[in-house]
Amino acid sequence: MKNYQESNSLKESLEILKRYKNDVSKEDYEDIKGIIGNHAIENTYMNELDIIALVKQSVYGLSADEIIAEYKEKGYVDYERK
């Protein structure tokens, strides 16, 4: 299984997202940033695996169910950069 970075703060989650900034449109980046912020309000910080799932939804138009199925099959969500 791949090692994905965990996050313990909003700042760490946003730093992870920055790595994928060029993979999504500016609008999608801001949307994902908002989702991360909304989770952080509840003290739930998105880790790299969570963020990759959001990026895959944006880039490939996958549904949450498709991403969950991939996770169950592989034990992680695979993402190859453009």
| 22-78 confidence digits (pLDDT tens) | 999 999 999 999 999 999 999 999 999 899 999 999 999 999 888 888 888 877 666
Tokens representing 73 are 């099959």
pLDDT of residue 73: 82
11 or 65, which is more confident: 11
Q: Please tell me the pTM assigned to this model.
A: 0.83
pLDDT of residue 77: 65
What's the Cα-to-Cα distance from 66 to each of 3, 18, 23, 46, 57, rounded to whole Å? 21, 24, 20, 19, 9
Q: List, in order, residues 6 or more apart from 76 with CB less than 8 Å away.
A: 1, 2, 4, 49
pLDDT of residue 12: 98
